[in-house]
Structure 1
Amino acid sequence: MSSDYILTYTRVKFYPLEPLREDIKIEDIAHSLSLMTRANGHSSHFYSVAQHSLQCCYEAKSRAYSERVQLGCLLHDASESYISDLTRPVKRNLPQYSMIEERLQRVIYERFGLGDLTEDEQKQIENVDDTLLHYEFEAMMDYLIFETPPEKSMKKHDFAQRDFASVEQEFLTVFMQLTGSHK
């Protein structure tokens, strides 16, 4: 292996370009995403990727989607915990980054039993993600992403600024509930 690794929160030498399933730790994902801001920090207050992922998971549950889709929603941005994120306009113009992100996300899904998500399940996850994007921007930036607001199942989502440690713990708790694991 090359020297192109990052040192994770749990002290794993993680190689983002050569990801190994056994090196992926839910504790690293929850910790990193709870400290990482959505919208590249351009919102009215700190709102983390972990909070977004939790809200996506709750929206999926409210829609009565399967626990697999709920877990997929919780983990849909997990690759960002290892390679950070780029804004959509930049990402669209960097095909190599997108390939790295897709490969890493696939390995993460495989690690947590979601390597066989169907096309319909993936579409459900993407739809929930876009729905939350719209309502996050509306709530925190007074800006509408879509001219016609997408349908949401939950009446109210929590877009409040929260302490990162409580978000991290909630992320881990929801993960354990969905997987029946104890980390």
Structure 2
Amino acid sequence: MQDYITTYTKKHFTIMEPEMADIDINDIAHALSLMTRANGHFSQFYSVGQHSVGCAYEALERGYSARVVLGCLLHDGSEAYMADITRPLKQHMSAYLVAEEKLQNMIFEKFLGQCPSEEEMAQIKSVDDAMLFHEFKCFMNEELDIPEHEILTRPAFSTKPFEDVEEDFLLMFHKISALL
């Protein structure tokens, strides 16, 4: 069995021993635009890519730095290579968590120059959790127990064609990267 996946851009990506040179924003944007949030349990398709773009817009609206906005866009980037696993299961998967952290940090280093600081990560997590709260409220009619869940934006919680999400993701990436 091979120890790599073949990405959208035809790279052979070894998940357990990733190489920074193999991380490609086009692979991340494409894969996340096709991955569903909530393990497919929402009432309609809503992608990780659309969530990530929504997080970036929320960070912009909050007046966060370009690094935090880009961090919000990329915060689920490792899922493009490893897949999304629901939070209740992921917390019990120590090897997965180590590999995910290594890969996610590598993605941050490649595109942000270094990993976000503790303060920047707190801002990214705040945006991510707030969006999660509103996604569950919209798609599942369920209010999660998340303390700070207010959002300033009005995201379109509806199915968007993956091509549009991929394009939105890449446009946001290039727009914010130019500010760093």
Give the aligned partner of residue 171 of structure 1: 169
Q: Does 1:129 align with 2:133?
A: no
Is the 1:134–1:149 contact (alpha carbons within 8 Å) kept by the matching residues of 2?
Answer: no
Provide the C-alpha distance between the structure 1 equivalents of 2:126 and 2:113, rounded to a whole number of angstroms.
17
Q: What TM-score do the two structures reach when normalised by structure 1? A: 0.94
Q: Distance in 1 between matches of 2:72 and 2:146?
A: 24
Q: Counterpart in 2 of 1:97?
A: 96
Which stretch has the larger CA shift, 140-149 or 99-108? 140-149
- TM-score, structure 2 normalization: 0.95
- SS for the counterpart of 2:158 is coil
Displacement of 1:151 in angstroms is 2.0
1:16 aligns to what? 15
Match of 2:119 in 1: 120
How much identity, in percent, do the aligned residues show?
47
Measured after TM superposition, the shift of residue 68 of structure 1 is 0.4
Query: Which amino acid counterpart does residue 177 of structure 1 have in structure 2?
Result: K
Residue number in structure 2 paired with 1:67: 66
User: Would the alpha carbon gap of residues 96 and 147 (structure 1) be closer, same or farther in structure 2, given more than 3 Å must change?
Assistant: closer
Post-superposition Cα deviations, 1:24-63, rounded to whole Å, max 9, x if no partner, equal 0000000000000000000010000000000100110000
Deviations 1:92-113 (A, max 9, x none): 1111111110000001111112
What's 1:84 paired with?
83
Cα distance in 1 between the residues matched to 2:135 and 2:81 = 23
Compared CA separation, residues 147 and 57, structure 1 to 2 (3 A): closer
Give aligned pairs, total.
179
> Which of 158, 161, 173 is equivalent to 2:159?
161
Give the residue type in structure 1 aligned to 2:133. Answer: H
The gaps in structure 1 that reach 5 residues or longer are none
C-alpha contact 1:78 1:105 (8 A) present in aligned 2: yes
Residues 72 and 114 in structure 1, CA contact (< 8 A), matched pair in contact too: no
Aligned partners of 2:121, 2:47: CA distance in 1, in Å?
22
- For structure 2, the 5+ residue unaligned runs are none
